[in-house]
Structure 1
């Protein structure tokens, strides 16, 4: 798969899962359809896919909500997808490894921060869960894979799986970043 095709696929899937995540949070917060769509859009920032996912969540949320922990799974998937896509784009633009990891992490957490702020919550990344760390780990996989000239598709999958896994496992185990005593 070419780099441009890989990035397009990562972008589209990432947009879709973050739109679903934002839409589900809107439903949980008892927002109307405009609120659900606004959260879907803010979480994903990606045009028409947002509207489709937001409307989808608004009307079928009872079925989706029965799935075990749908919000965390979608959020973790979006985190891994966008960390990898953002990092790869930064590398393609000629940024160094550190800057690329930073861009990948910010790309992954930005939509979730905006989503949380819109529903008047302190963003998860700032206080209670392993979030940015998972994105950084996924981004590092991409940078190392690029440096070692590994297959980009395999590296992308590995980064997505690592970011997703860290996020889901840390949530399941109740892990959080250290805090001052």
Structure 2
């Protein structure tokens, strides 16, 4: 009896946002936390970028967040982390993303100390495919680095973090770069 009530208490502690059960924190940035979550309808694992609305307003990031979401809707490609949907509550914005299990390319390079020429060429080709797709859609990432390149379970490269990306009309505004 005691065990069952404890189990029930644990079920209530699990946070649910829409159809997603939110789990542990898997990453943390300056303005957001990324949490593991599970789609309760399909069982699919996803990553959820959680942003506090108060932080977004305090740091005047509303346009940047809207831009990031808009861009992620535009750039659907096998080598780009996929945006599933965006949800919000009174206090938070939840960006539901593809869950990429292989970690950062940065960590792979540090661990191996050196990539083989074939391995490096493969990642580079995938990166160029993703960047060419972005450019064909008028999107410029502007923050490509090994920490923003993830690897999935099949060693495929996935470009992530479009927070600093820009669209062509924005690049021509005189004070755009000073706002970054």
Q: What TM-score does the superposition give when structure 2 sets the normalisation length? A: 0.26
Structure 1 or 2, whichever has the larger Rg, is 2
Q: What TM-score does the superposition give when structure 1 sets the normalisation length? A: 0.26
Higher strand share: 2
Higher helix share: 1
**With CA pairs under 8 Å and 6+ residues apart, which has the higher RCO, 1 or 2?**
1
